[in-house]
Amino acid sequence: MCGALRLADAGKKAVLMGWVNRRRDLGQIIFVDLRDRTGVAQVVFSAELSATVHEKAEQLRNEFVIAALGTVKKRDADTINPNIPTGEVELVVDELRILNVSKQPPFLPSDTMLANEEMRLKYRYIDLRRDAMQFNIALRHKVAIAIRDYLSSQGFFEIETPFMTRSTPEGARDYLVPSRVQPGSFYALPQSPQLFKQILMISGFDKYFQIVRCFRDEDLRADRQPEFTQIDLEMSYPQPERVWETVEGFLAAAFKAAGHEIKINFPRMDYDDAMRQYGIDKPDLRLPALTDVRDCFTSEELQTLAINQDLPVLAIRTPKVGELSRKERDDIKPLFVSKGGARVFEDFKRIENKHPEAAAKIREKVRANATFEIHQKTAGDQDDLIVLVVGSAQSSADKDAHPASKRKVTPAEMAIYASAGLLRVALAQKYADRHGIFKKTGNPAQDYRFLWVTNFPMFEYDEADKRWMAAHHPFTSPHEEDMDKLETDPAMVRALAYDVVLNGTELGSGSIRIHRQDIQSRIFHALGMTDEESKSRFGFFLEALEYGTPPHGGIALGLDRIVMILAGAESLREVIPFPKTAAAKDLMMEAPTPVADAQLRDLGIGIVTKK
């Protein structure tokens, strides 16, 4: 293989096959960098050696596929290329076969400048030839194998579950597959194998896993594709800690396969604390926490500044960003998303001018608050950017009206925390070059900040539908001690649910499940489902629960996201060979497409054009 040639091979006969990555035609001598999966090697065509071979080599162009037969030669000292692993040798060719020619590609795998997304996706087979993509796909393979091996060694069985299954109206939109044999009926592609894996527990396969494709027909993001791969697992009789150990074990194996030794026993944090300290349920621990600096102001000051005294005043610290110019302060504004009554006080200078005492207190308090920070030594506090997010004086007048207003973090407070949490991340991304926190240090303990977020609320209130929804999913078990509040005070019920978070990305989400039919029914009730409804949607499952279901629980992690972070990529598209665009299209295959009328007739489907 091209990339494998080494000094030790000098003198050997060799055949290299691959693509012409670059050619350098010097007249009587032609150099070609030949590329395959393993790397590049220089092959030499000399007119002196063979006029016919040299003549043929003159026809070579980028991306031609060739076989070069010759002798591996140690390069002269002054012609060694230290920039490539094969740079000490070259293949002196005495026979050249052109296996295939190539049209001029729209872009070259060797280009330093990246073509735009549209081009890359349309000509994905060329984009995938690039080193970076070859590396990412190889990394994905290694990670998947490591996880399989680890889970298998821990006694887990990899068991497949159907792709054509039943639509469940809860949750994400389903991708539907029409049935020809049952006209008018549809299968759904699984959003996850949730019910199947629970059924497997009921079936006695007490440790299950699967690296499995899941499908959700929702709008995309850089870290969301309509089809994505989960590491799905479930086990019988576990405490949450058993699940966490398992996850930490396979993540350690996966990161090891990628060359990183991570420390296990990830820190744990209650959902409430995550929201209060970071304003988000997936905190990026690399960045400083939020600080409530309400007590740094006097009551009069708060009034003067039109700040709501009953709501937190949150300081966002972004290290080493320094003071912002007038223009930069304007640039921040679009980053801010107000969740309801929240307002941004981007001009900290104004507070320093008018309320110097408060400003000094804020600086002190913010710097002292470094709960989970481990490596930001700020050179001096002048270097930090401080932005305040506050509640408008008139906001949250009706706060008691909300069904969740008795929670530890009230909905009105939550709006401020959430707004600040989003801005905190947005600022850090915008000024990443200045604070350098996102740059890899080579120390896994700093580069990869894992976290378990636990004790999520069981239900979220849907303002639009005026009803409670399952925060995780309706098969999640409530805390034992909250069981009595299911009917009386659903807002206060905590779930035995947990997320594993890495650097602000939710890697996975799981829970201990309900294993008793009566409790499952109560949950469906709490979600506003009648007996008839729950029976028609989940009857088979409720029935299964009645035949000796062991306690069980599990989790599912996004393989794509894990690989994305390991690859240092900004988008899932960089680690998925054939991804879809933001509009869920495959630009290479040109999917989806309309289908022939005959096909539709066969399925008993008519198309209604939307206005």
Partner RNA sequence: GGGGGCGUAGUUCAGUUGGUUAGAACGCCUGCCUGUCACGCAGGAGGCCGCGGGUUGGAGUCCCGUCGCUCCCGCCA
**Is 285:451 a contact under the CB 8 Å cutoff?**
yes
Among the residue ranges 19-27, 371-379, 442-450, 477-485, the one whose residues contact RNA (CB under 7 A): 19-27
Q: CA-to-CA distance for 459 and 299, rounded, in angstroms?
A: 35
**Complex with RNA: residue 113 or 598, whichever CB lies closer:** 113
Q: How far is the CB of 559 from RNA (least distance, A)?
A: 16
Q: How far is the CB of 36 from RNA (least distance, A)?
A: 16
Q: Using the rule CB under 7 A, is 17 a contact of RNA? A: no
**Complex with RNA: residue 42 or 318, whichever CB lies closer:** 42
Q: How far is the CB of 488 from RNA (least distance, A)?
A: 21
**Complex with RNA: residue 374 or 582, whichever CB lies closer:** 582
Q: Using the rule CB under 7 A, is 396 a contact of RNA? A: no
Q: Using the rule CB under 7 A, is 31 a contact of RNA? A: yes
Residue in the structure block whose two tokens are 């088979």: 540
- Binding test (CB under 7 A) with RNA, winner from 7, 13, 15, 28: 28
Binding mask 406-445 for RNA (x = CB under 7 A): ----------------x-----------------------
Q: Using the rule CB under 7 A, is 261 a contact of RNA? A: no
- Binding test (CB under 7 A) with RNA, winner from 91, 275, 386, 587: 587
**Complex with RNA: residue 175 or 348, whichever CB lies closer:** 175
Extract the tokens encoding 420. 């600040």
Residues in the chain: 611
Q: CA-to-CA distance for 552 and 199, rounded, in angstroms?
A: 10
**Is 592:580 a contact under the CB 8 Å cutoff?**
no
- Binding test (CB under 7 A) with RNA, winner from 8, 99, 114, 360: 114
**Complex with RNA: residue 471 or 493, whichever CB lies closer:** 471
For the sheet with 268-270, list strands across it.
Answer: 157-158, 207-215, 227-236, 552-558, 505-512, 497-502, 450-454, 268-270
Q: CA-to-CA distance for 240 and 243, rounded, in angstroms?
A: 5
**Complex with RNA: residue 113 or 379, whichever CB lies closer:** 113
* Region 316-375 residues binding RNA, contact defined as CB under 7 A: 334, 337
Residue in the structure block whose two tokens are 């887990």: 156
Q: Using the rule CB under 7 A, is 6 a contact of RNA? A: no
* Region 539-578 residues binding RNA, contact defined as CB under 7 A: 570-571, 573
Q: Which residues contact 237 (CB under 8 A, 6 or more apart)?
A: 206, 550, 551, 552
Extract the tokens encoding 148. 């399989």
Q: Using the rule CB under 7 A, is 77 a contact of RNA? A: no
Q: How far is the CB of 173 from RNA (least distance, A)?
A: 7
* Region 86-105 residues binding RNA, contact defined as CB under 7 A: 87, 90, 104
Q: How far is the CB of 145 from RNA (least distance, A)?
A: 26
Integer CA distances (angstroms), 551 to 129, 204, 339, 542, 554, in order: 48, 11, 39, 15, 11
Tell which residue, 195, 4, 190, has the closest CA to residue 89.
4
Question: What DSSP string runs through 517-542?
Answer: HHHHHHHHHHTT--HHHHHHHHHHHH
Question: What DSSP string runs through 28-67?
Answer: SEEEEEEEETTEEEEEEEETTT-HHHHHHHTT--TT-EEE
Among the residue ranges 4-12, 211-219, 254-262, 372-380, the one whose residues contact RNA (CB under 7 A): 211-219
